[in-house]
Amino acid sequence: MNKSRSLSIVIPVYNEEENVTILFDEIKKVLEGFVKKYEVIFINDGSTDNSLERLMDLRKKDKSVRIINFRKNFGQSSAISAGFELCTGDYVITLDADLQNDPANIPDILEKLNEGFDIVNGWRKKRKDSLTKKIPSYFGNKLVSFITKVKLHDYGCTLRGFKKDVVKTLKLYGEMHRYIPAIASRIGIRSIEIPVNHRERRFGKSKYGLGRTFRVILDLISIKYLLSFSHRPLQIFGSLGMLMMSTGFLTGLYITYEKYFLGKSADRPLLTFTVLVLFLGFQIITLGLLAEMLTRVYHEGLNKNVYTIRETYGFEDENIDDRT
Ligand code: UDP
Ligand code: MG
């Protein structure tokens, strides 16, 4: 890797006391002599075990460790987002704290970033997880690729590399971290997928169960909305509403014509239909206007974060770029 480039590694931690020390040692071994300027940012996402103590021990021994301590558990996406906010490296790599991602893949990722890609996605080709994870994830990846038009084999892999400017434009919440490549496609980026090693979880428990599937799908709907219509919500709501209102107008005309010219009773299912579509159409248009206003508020309020930080350690040190 280009020796003058600095690197930030961002790691979300939620109850991983047995893992963090081993992980940090692995990372150091990989980076030694290879990357000169780096920081390893751990985000303690409201752990209830001794993760924070283990991280503080690491920081005592090694000043490249930086810690963001959340006030409570805000979720993996918020943790990654906080890391993105405070990181200072030219290149940024995210990975899980549970040792399932292999730091040995870091050089491959850096190489691709050096080649000019903005995002390098890890693809867990031989995934070491239970079937209850692998099966929904197989269909999930197909669905997300289809809907977002950003085709990837593995949306769920946290091991990824980014250029600094990409991470600085992202705000994540919910289960959004898995859609980073899709969200980033909005700003026009070059991305690539490379196979990475995946390992079984040895210590601690997975933080997610089957319930995640639903949250992932709900977030997909909002991503699709964000990608396609977030700038002009009135265009989807509006066209649907106009369509319904014009249908109602036509059936209304027809039923009036029949009543006054043919003397038929207007009190028929068609009348109910007419009233229904007219009202619904009107409502949908107003909903679109509301969404339009919300979009403005959202874009203006983009600088607000979902998470709150109790304290940080190490960020007062000199910028990693100033280190020799
Ligand atoms: N994680 C987190 N906050 C949470 C849940 C998870 O920071 O609310 C971290 C967790 O410590 C791990 C990573 O996110 O480093 C992935 O979690 P996990 O291994 O449980 O997910 P899985 O691999 O089972 O999908
Ligand atoms: Mg895991």
Residue ranges per structural domain of the chain: 6-229, 233-299
- Ligand 1 nearest atom to the CA of residue 79, by list position: 7
- Ligand 1 nearest atom to the CA of residue 16, by list position: 11
User: How many angstroms separate the alpha carbon of residue 321 from the centre of ligand 1?
Assistant: 30
- Ligand 1 nearest atom to the CA of residue 205, by list position: 20
User: How many angstroms separate the alpha carbon of residue 312 from the centre of ligand 2?
Assistant: 25
pLDDT for the residue numbered 10: 98
**Dihedral of CA 90/93/97/101: which sign?**
negative
Report how far residue 227's alpha carbon sits from residue 183's, in angstroms, rounded to the nearest whole number: 7
Pocket test for ligand 1, best of 22, 207, 215, 216 (most atoms within 8 A of CB): 207
Ligand index nearest the alpha carbon of residue 130? 1
Residues 6+ apart with CB under 8 A from 105: 122, 159, 194, 196, 197
- Ligand 1 nearest atom to the CA of residue 73, by list position: 8
User: How many angstroms separate the alpha carbon of residue 60 from the centre of ligand 1?
Assistant: 25
pLDDT for the residue numbered 296: 67
User: How many angstroms separate the alpha carbon of residue 183 from the centre of ligand 2?
Assistant: 23
Report how far residue 78's alpha carbon sits from residue 45's, in angstroms, rounded to the nearest whole number: 9
CB neighbourhood size of 85 (10 A): 16
Q: Which residue's C-alpha comes closest to atom 23 of ligand 1?
A: 206
Q: Which residue's C-alpha comes closest to atom 22 of ligand 1?
A: 206
pLDDT for the residue numbered 218: 78
pLDDT for the residue numbered 324: 46
Pocket test for ligand 1, best of 73, 98, 130 (most atoms within 8 A of CB): 98
pLDDT for the residue numbered 307: 82
Q: Which residue's C-alpha comes closest to atom 19 of ligand 1?
A: 206
Question: In a structure prediction context, what are the per-residue pLDDT tens digits for the chain, which is 324 residues long?
Answer: 556 789 999 999 999 999 999 999 999 999 998 898 999 999 999 999 999 999 999 999 999 999 999 999 999 999 999 999 999 999 999 999 999 999 999 999 999 999 999 999 999 999 999 898 888 889 989 998 998 888 999 999 999 999 999 998 877 766 778 888 988 887 788 899 999 999 999 999 998 877 777 777 877 887 887 777 766 778 888 889 999 999 999 999 999 999 999 998 888 899 999 999 999 999 998 888 888 777 767 766 666 677 889 999 988 876 676 654
Mapped onto helix, strand or coil, the DSSP state of residue 158 is coil
Buried b (16+ CB within 10 A) or exposed e, 4-13: ebbbbbbbbb
CA nearest neighbour of 255 among 277, 275, 271: 271
pLDDT for the residue numbered 186: 78
- Ligand 1 site residues (CB inside 6 A) read 12-14, 16, 45, 73, 75-76, 79, 96-98, 100, 206-208
Instruction: Report the CATH architecture of 6-229.
Output: Alpha-Beta Complex (3.90)
pLDDT for the residue numbered 54: 97
